Amino acid sequence: MLGTHQIRTLIGAADPIDPAAPPPRLSAVDLIARAEATEPAAPIRRAPRRLVLVAGAAAVVAAGAVTVLHPFTASTGHGPGVLGPPGGGLVLVPIAYQIDQDPPAAGEHLRAMAAHLADAPSDKHTGRYAYHHVKTWGDPLMSDDGGRYVLGFAGEEERWQLADGSGRSRVTTLPPEFPDVQSRDHWLRQIPSWPSAVPHEQALPPYESSPPLPTDRAGLAALLSVRYGGGAVAKQVTTVYQEHVVPTRTRALILDILADVPGFRWRGQVTDRAGRPGVAITYEDPAHGQQSLLVFDARTGVLLAHEIVTVKPRRVSTYLLLLATDRTDN
């Protein structure tokens, strides 16, 4: 087993920064004055996008792929994307929307859904374990030194947890997927074959369990970070679905809360990366040049997927698929 020193040796080599930091911009005296003069600090400014975006011809290729590729290649088991040569990696393509241009506000559609939700399979089960099966990609992404060629490893996690947070999980790291053809070709030249996926099982200790979901609208809205806007809400909705088996009433409440968040647009019917039909809403975040996407099961209101897409050029930045949620005794 690695000791602390060996951890430093190993991780230290992967430190992504040059440790030489610039000097402070303010003197200690100035900072004291600022501390004395201001109320508690304003939020930290967000880092600008660091992905080196595809330019010129490459962007044309990426944009072309969006329009000509089949939205879902069921035979491959992958969602929107195109496979490279034999053994090659998947290049991700943004999900196609039924309503691509001038989408209407989502509020009315979400309220209509919320009013007529059906039970999900998990609503009929009462097992002591909460079971979640999730697939993710894109957090983190990695790039070459120049930041041009990007890859991300997909991963799947199955998790069985008791109310105190204890339980077990099975994590499988999957082969890399790529946001564009150039990145795939670059990395396949560098590393022609990738290790096979091997599930890793682990016990989960009884700490850091999630508190119960609020049952009132105000409490749930606060948990969903409504005051921080649609991008934060989309992420929080996803977190809630990752950590809880959400009952019908709460699913309806979530949709109703989303309906009141300014900026969500209705995208109509879509097919997610697991090949499931759903309905989608998006939230534009021009400050960061990105769009958040949520896909719901139209009948049950269960969240199926969350994605973040860069706008120019249009590429997938992260995706998360909630493949299964249930209660079980096993």
Interaction residues for other proteins, span 235-254 (CB under 8 A): 235-236
Nearer to other proteins, 31 or 163 (CB): 31
**Least distance in angstroms from the C-beta of 253 to other proteins:** 20
Shortest Cβ 208–other proteins spacing (Å): 7
The residues, any chain, with a CB within 8 Å of residue 221's CB and separated by 6 or more, are: 257
48 binds other proteins (CB under 8 A): yes
CB of 92 vs other proteins, minimal distance in Å:
13
Does 328 sit near other proteins (CB under 8 A)? no
Beta bridge mates, 157: 134, 171
From candidates 24, 56, 192, 262, binder to other proteins by CB under 8 A:
24
Point out which span in 59-67, 106-114, 149-157, 241-249 binds other proteins (CB under 8 A). Answer: 149-157
| Contact call for residue 46 and other proteins (CB under 8 A) | yes
Strand 90-92, strand 167-178: pairing:
parallel
For residue 7, which phi and psi values (nearest 5 degrees)?
A: -60, -45
26 makes contact with other proteins (CB under 8 A): yes
Instruction: Please give the sequence-ordered ranges of beta strands (E in DSSP) within the chain, or none if there are none.
Output: 81-83, 90-92, 129-137, 142-143, 150-161, 167-178, 200-204, 264-271, 277-285, 290-296, 303-310, 315-328
Question: Contact between 68 and other proteins (CB under 8 A)?
Answer: no
**Alpha-carbon span 223 to 229, nearest angstrom:** 13
Applying the rule CB under 8 A, the residues between 250 and 289 that interact with other proteins are 285, 288-289
Q: CA torsion, points 58, 64, 70, 73, in degrees to nearest 10?
A: 0
Identity of the residue numbered 322: L
Which string of b and e fits 194-210 if b means at least 16 CB within 10 Å? beeeeeeeeebeeeebe
Nearest distance from C-beta of residue 138 to other proteins, angstroms: 8
Only segment of 5-13, 107-115, 120-128, 256-264 that touches other proteins (CB under 8 A): 5-13
Candidates 9-17, 57-65, 90-98, 241-249; binding stretch for other proteins (CB under 8 A): 9-17
- Told to check if 161 binds other proteins by CB under 8 A, we report no
SS3 assignment, position 86:
coil
Residues 109 to 148 in contact with other proteins, rule: CB under 8 A: 138-145, 147
For position 214 contacting other proteins by CB under 8 A, the verdict is: no
Q: Does 103 bind other proteins (CB under 8 A)?
A: no
Q: For residue 25, state whether it binds other proteins (rule: CB under 8 A).
A: yes
Using DSSP's 3-state secondary structure scheme, residue 205 falls into coil
- From the CB of 125, what's the least distance to other proteins, in Å? 26
Contact call for residues 165 and 205 (beta carbons, < 8 A): yes
Based on the shown chain and the rule CB under 8 A, indicate whether residue 155 belongs to the binding site for other proteins: yes
